[in-house]
Structure 1
Amino acid sequence: MPTDNAPPTVKPFWRRGLAGFLDFLTVFFVGGYVIGAATGQTTKDGFSLNGGPALLLFALIALYFYLGWKVLGGTVWQRILKAR
């Protein structure tokens, strides 16, 4: 019985790298602004996080990538760029 299960192809590095970069920028700016707005640390140019809110943003970034890679099968930009 022949099987047509070809090994999965590896996506080009530029596509995976671009997806990771865009994911980081997206979660950094969106998450940073939301946390800044919730904690009153917004400025006329955007946000300026210090102390606990900054640590919360870093935890949010780590959680986003963990959930995207391990739980959901791909981050937002990996799905858009078909990098996963």
Structure 2
Amino acid sequence: MTDTVKPVATWRKVLAAILDFATVFFGGGYAIGYLTGSVTAEGFKLEGMPALILFALVIVYFVAGSKYLGGTIWQRILYTH
């Protein structure tokens, strides 16, 4: 028997991308802000090198998750049938 793989619905791909970005941006931003003393009453405020580190973290998250780990967190949750 051959199993046919159903393509993932577009809405699931878009939702996974949005949730992944929010997860890594806010989680990573708060963690970097906490480590660098940039946490404010409203959240975090990153400037200069901490902001660049967050930008690099977002890129590494998506590349490593998609290419090496079998999907990002939200892709793995939403792409299962």
TM-score of the aligned structures, taking structure 2 as reference length: 0.92
Residue correspondences, number: 81
Aligned to 1:15: 12
C-alpha RMSD of matched pairs (Å): 1.6
- Report runs of 4+ in structure 1 exceeding 4 Å deviation: none
Q: CA offset at residue 82 of structure 1?
A: 1.8
Among all aligned residue pairs of Structure 1 and Structure 2, give the percentage whose two residues are the same amino acid. 54
Report which of the two structures shows the higher radius of gyration computed on alpha carbons: 1
In structure 2, the residue corresponding to 1:73 is in which secondary structure? coil
Give unpaired runs (5+ residues) of structure 2: none
Partner amino acid, structure 2, of 1:22: L
TM, length-normalised to structure 1: 0.89
- Partner of residue 41, structure 1: 38
**Distance in structure 2 (CA, Å) of the matches to 1:4 and 1:57:** 44
In the TM superposition, what is the alpha-carbon distance from 1:71 to its structure 2 partner?
Answer: 0.1
What stretches of structure 1 of length at least 5 have no aligned partner? Answer: none
